[in-house]
Structure 1
Amino acid sequence: MKKALWAFLCAAIFLSEALADKVSDAKEQTSNNLIIKNAQNALASGNYEKAFSGYYDAAVHDNNALAQFSLGLFYRNGWGRETNPVVACQWFEKAAQKGIPTAQHLVGVCFEQGTHHPEDPIAAANWFQKAAQAGHIHSYCHLANLLMTGTGFPKDPAKALELCRPAAQQGSIPAQIWMGKFYLQGDSAIRDKQEAYRWFAAAAQKQAPEAFYYLGLILQSDLPARHAPKEIRQLFEQAAALKYVPAYFQAGKHFFHAEPDPETNQLSAEHLAKAYLWLSATIQRSEDMEEITAAKMILEQILVVMPQTWLAELDQKVAQHLQEN
């Protein structure tokens, strides 16, 4: 009887200790979840410092993968701090190792570009493969790009298209952009401008800024044959309005070179103003020095004929566009 009672007491003590551990773990998990939730709410409201502090605490002390990934985004996007691609990639790699698919994709890009380690296409390919298999399907297209360009692997354009096409057919906008680029700029054996146009058009239907830009480039290359300058201007302006920076110069340049008003034989007021807007945006946002130089030269010509009274309003519009999220 005593032995049975002793065994019962031992079992009760063991169970109570196990239950206490579970309660403690549950409390800790609840606390961690609350930290993440508060950080997410702070980020949504634009309180970057509070959000960063919460994510950092969860990333460092709790080794939380979502928090580590979020810190990578802070440094990648410059949320409340200077952008730092190296630190962003370091955080992405920590999150990737814990199975976050988007982090796996982004750390693949980091290895591809040699951001936080020397360029390593093999490591990049491994991460792209993991991300794709975890559901980040357009990672297959980044893997395909390595094959298309022969970076770290023998060139295989046919295999590249085979890898990327299913994601594009499923409606992935990044995959459709990649397919357009492959057919437009890839190996000469597979170049097909009509196929490129088809894939860019599919992405443009979903308001992808880059797609409008490439459609403009394709039509521009065919200009002598079939296409009206107005259509090209509209495509570049759509991309620029959606803040695709490479489209700023193209939009401004095409508005400056638009057909003159038949009554005055001068550039219309609308086209003059739009040329000024997009060329000013080019100077403030482009990283292409040749574009910036060309934009400044065209602006000098615009300022000769444009009324000075327009400047304040137009400059305000440029600033508003560049500040909008």
Structure 2
Amino acid sequence: LLGFLNEKGIGAPLSPEHAFQIYLTAAQNGDIYGQSLVGQCYQLGQGTPQNIYQAIQWLHKAAKAGLPNAQYLLAFCFFDPQNEFQSYGYAFSFLEQAAKRGKREAQNWLGFFYLQGLGTKQRLKLSHYWFMKSALAGDRDGQLGLARFYRIILRDNRTSFSWLVRAAQGNNPNAHFFLGTYYYYGRGTVRNLRKAFYWISKAISASGQQRQKDKQQCQDYRDGLYLRSSALEFLGMSYERGQQAPRDVHKAVMIYRRAIAASGGVEGHRSMLNLCRIFRNDWY
């Protein structure tokens, strides 16, 4: 507790290094929470240089003792494709342990692993089960994952929309974005451009704070590109024409550029034409 308060600057100067030393002392004395925190510090490079090997060693001690958060963090040490210890099998195993102990974030990711067949066979019923368990526990990413499961696997837009509405109640730019596209296309609900503009704008303004947190989550790649570029194009046109929002050509240009980048050059041709029109008419 003292280390956590010190790290957060509560009652003491902010010092991740000092907090790490307190965690380490507790960990060396067999405290499983200290072991988990030391592992997390090594994993993230907080208060000490990043060291994935040491992170795995300390997290494994706490995970073996049954600490769900340590099991969850350990899974991501093995999931990260950028480190030499990557193993979908180990990642799946520790996610499953954490999920069964009630870690709702792990339940969401376990649903994703079953959906994609990572470290296990693809099992859609189990994928749905764990997404649902996470969603009902209130995890916003789990609600988003479940919404996309209903959309892509079960082709049930109405149920998908209802879960997106719940997911969007949290600060999740991805949920905001997809809810905006549902309103834009009238998917699972009545088409409403004003609401589409509101939710897509909310997602765009928050996207700098969260870089596609669910980048690997279940989605059809081409459909995802089309949704993003088309919805961004709609947002750009709203600003360019002064529809659903005050006219702002500068903002429209920035959003059109994002639409082109989001399309990967596949579906962004209309945004490219919109940009050309703006520059040709000297609007910008």
TM-score for the superposition, normalised by structure 2: 0.67
1:272 and 2:249 equivalent? yes
Conserved 8 A contact 1:108-1:127: yes
1:1-325 pair list within 5 angstroms:
34=2, 36=3, 39-42=6-9, 47=14, 50-59=15-24, 62-63=27-28, 64-71=31-38, 73=40, 86=52, 90=56, 92-93=59-60, 95-186=62-153, 190-222=154-186, 227-242=191-206, 243-245=209-211, 253-258=233-238, 260-261=241-242, 270-275=247-252, 290=264, 304-306=282-284
The alignment yields a C-alpha RMSD, in angstroms, of 4.4
Q: Deviations over 1:198-229 (max 9, x none)?
A: 11111113343321122123344448x96244
Structure 2: 5+ residue stretches without partners: 213-226
Question: Higher helix share goes to which structure?
Answer: 1
Q: 1:56 to 1:210 in 2, by over 3 A?
A: farther
Q: Please report how far the alpha carbon of residue 160 of structure 1 lies from its aligned counterpart in structure 2 after TM superposition.
A: 1.7
**Aligned length in residues:** 255
User: For residue 17 of structure 2, what is the amino acid of its counterpart?
Assistant: F
Work out the CA distance in 1 between the residues paired with 2:74 and 2:247.
45
Higher relative contact order (CA 8 A, sep 6+): 2
Structure 1: 5+ residue stretches without partners: 1-32, 307-325
Q: 1:289 to 1:174 in 2, by over 3 A?
A: closer
**Aligned residue number for residue 221 of structure 2:** none
Q: 1:44 to 1:300 in 2, by over 3 A?
A: farther
Work out the CA distance in 2 between the residues paired with 1:276 and 1:78.
38
Work out the CA distance in 1 between the residues paired with 2:107 and 2:16.
32
Q: Please report how far the alpha carbon of residue 166 of structure 1 lies from its aligned counterpart in structure 2 after TM superposition.
A: 2.9
User: For residue 127 of structure 2, what is the amino acid of its counterpart?
Assistant: A
Work out the CA distance in 2 between the residues paired with 1:210 and 1:236.
9
Q: Please report how far the alpha carbon of residue 257 of structure 1 lies from its aligned counterpart in structure 2 after TM superposition.
A: 1.6
User: For residue 155 of structure 2, what is the amino acid of its counterpart?
Assistant: R
Work out the CA distance in 1 between the residues paired with 2:233 and 2:61.
44
Q: Which of these two proteins has the greater Rg computed from alpha carbons?
A: 1
Q: 1:75 to 1:197 in 2, by over 3 A?
A: farther
Q: Please report how far the alpha carbon of residue 127 of structure 1 lies from its aligned counterpart in structure 2 after TM superposition.
A: 0.8
Conserved 8 A contact 1:122-1:152: yes
Q: Please report how far the alpha carbon of residue 92 of structure 1 lies from its aligned counterpart in structure 2 after TM superposition.
A: 4.4
Work out the CA distance in 2 between the residues paired with 1:173 and 1:127.
21
Secondary structure, aligned partner of 1:171:
coil
User: For residue 260 of structure 1, what is the amino acid of its counterpart?
Assistant: R
Secondary structure, aligned partner of 1:153:
coil
Work out the CA distance in 2 between the residues paired with 1:66 and 1:98.
10
Work out the CA distance in 2 between the residues paired with 1:160 and 1:128.
13
Secondary structure, aligned partner of 1:305:
coil
Q: Please report how far the alpha carbon of residue 300 of structure 1 lies from its aligned counterpart in structure 2 after TM superposition.
A: 8.6
Work out the CA distance in 2 between the residues paired with 1:272 and 1:193.
34
